[in-house]
Amino acid sequence: MIMAAMTASPAIQGALRLADWGLIRAQGPDAASFLHSQLTQDINSLREGTARLAGWCSPKGRLLASFLVWRADADTLFLACSADLLAPTLKRLSMFVLRAKCKLTDASADIALHGLAGGSAAAWLGDAAAAPHWSVQATGGGQLVRLPDVQGTPRWLLAQPADAAAPALPALSPADWAALEVRSGIVRITAATVEQFVPQMVNLELVGGVNFQKGCYPGQEIVARSQYRGTLKRRAQVVDSDAPLAAGQEVFHSADPGQPAGMVALAAPRADGGSSALVELKLSALVGGSLHAGAADGALLRLGALPYAIPADQG
């Protein structure tokens, strides 16, 4: 039987400059319509003051990148993504701009991204801390995106000028922020996982990152077919391990040791040398047997809990 871990997050709080995140700026009167034609999300209807998740897919429906997108003003949108994907994503996405009045640039040198979490961050933010999830507020020359809580820990993404003073908060460790990312159940595609997953394989539509009414975008037909024809056979799950895990690492099931049962999508190191991870898995691998990282006799994985439900007919 697969073991389940009920690990509660410790009191995580403070602020961290997010070195592993980057920021793309899309600017121009056609910025929203261009992104709307490329991403899994309805960007045309994205209002100022609201953020949404989105994916960018290959023609085969595989995720090339994932984004947190928000509109700064009528003609400017920002896309936060994994830093190790920013340059190739920007280069490839720019190839499709053509005659659209939209300029895509790397905003990472101008705008610093900070992760804020916990009670100390809420106190420092004051009234702004009470904003609803996925809202965006102007604050101190920057913009504050309210992220979903993780096991009772509130989170924010602060985008502010790179030369502005860092938030006056305790230092938050990269490992603690990564643990919150993993346990949020929201994937961030990295260089190690490019083109590995159709959006539903990492639950992107369950967290609001796919709009099935918006019309065409690269890979749209495959994504829609995955949703509406037949039962989805792969989903993302939270796991814990006493060994280090890494994005892109294969996962094996004891009942079928000859082929991978899934892949680590995002991992967070623990102080004890272990890891928490968001792992894409065959749903059949959740029944009986045991899960192992890297090889059939590799480190044991213990199932954790997602903060949202997977539909009953999908695991």
Residue-level pLDDT at 289: 94
Round to whole Å and give the CA distance between 157 and 148: 11
Query: Phi and psi for 304 in degrees, rounded to 5?
Result: -105, -155
- Report the chain's C-alpha Rg in angstroms: 19
Give the residue-averaged pLDDT of 25-38.
98
Residue-level pLDDT at 7: 42
Round to whole Å and give the CA distance between 254 and 288: 9
Token digits of residue 231: 């039962």
Which residue has better confidence, 5 or 188?
Answer: 188
In the structure, what pLDDT confidence band is assigned to residue 11 with cuts at 50, 70 and 90? confident
**CB neighbour list of residue 163: distance below 8 Å, 6 or more residues apart:** none
Residue 126 pLDDT > 90? yes
Give pTM, 2 decimals: 0.94
Residue 223 pLDDT > 50? yes
CB 77 within 8 A of CB 26: yes
Give the residue-averaged pLDDT of 211-222.
95
Tell me the C-alpha to C-alpha distance, in Å, between residue 137 and each of 75, 134, 150. 17, 10, 20
What are 154-209's pLDDT values in tens digits?
Answer: 999 999 999 999 999 999 999 999 999 999 999 999 999 999 999 999 999 999 99
Residue-level pLDDT at 1: 37
Round to whole Å and give the CA distance between 218 and 92: 13
Residue-level pLDDT at 6: 37
Give the residue-averaged pLDDT of 205-232.
91
Q: What residue type is 77 in one-letter code?
A: L
Residue-level pLDDT at 307: 96
Query: Phi and psi for 153 in degrees, rounded to 5?
Result: -95, 115
Give the residue-averaged pLDDT of 33-56.
97
Token digits of residue 89: 């994503």
Q: What is the DSSP string of 168-207?
A: SSPBPPHHHHHHHHHHHT-----GGGTTS--GGGGTGGGG
Residue among 142, 118, 141 nearest 129 (CA): 118
Residue among 27, 36, 25 nearest 102 (CA): 27
Round to whole Å and give the CA distance between 315 and 310: 7
Residue among 271, 277, 207 nearest 240 (CA): 277
- Partners of 77 in the beta sheet? 26, 71
Query: Counting beta carbons within 10 angstroms of the beta carbon of residue 98, is it exposed (0 to 12), middle (13 to 18) or buried (19 or more)?
Result: exposed
| Averaged confidence pLDDT in the chain | 94
Round to whole Å and give the CA distance between 31 and 200: 26
CB 76 within 8 A of CB 43: no
Round to whole Å and give the CA distance between 21 and 61: 23
CB 79 within 8 A of CB 64: no
Residue 82 pLDDT > 90? yes
Return the half-sphere exposure (C-beta side, CA atoms, 13 A cut-off) of residue 255. 10
Residue 141 pLDDT > 90? no
Token digits of residue 77: 């949108």
Residue among 186, 182, 12, 14 nearest 114 (CA): 14
Round to whole Å and give the CA distance between 241 and 221: 36
Residue among 143, 137, 138 nearest 159 (CA): 143
In the structure, what pLDDT confidence band is assigned to residue 8 with cuts at 50, 70 and 90? very low
Give the residue-averaged pLDDT of 141-148.
95
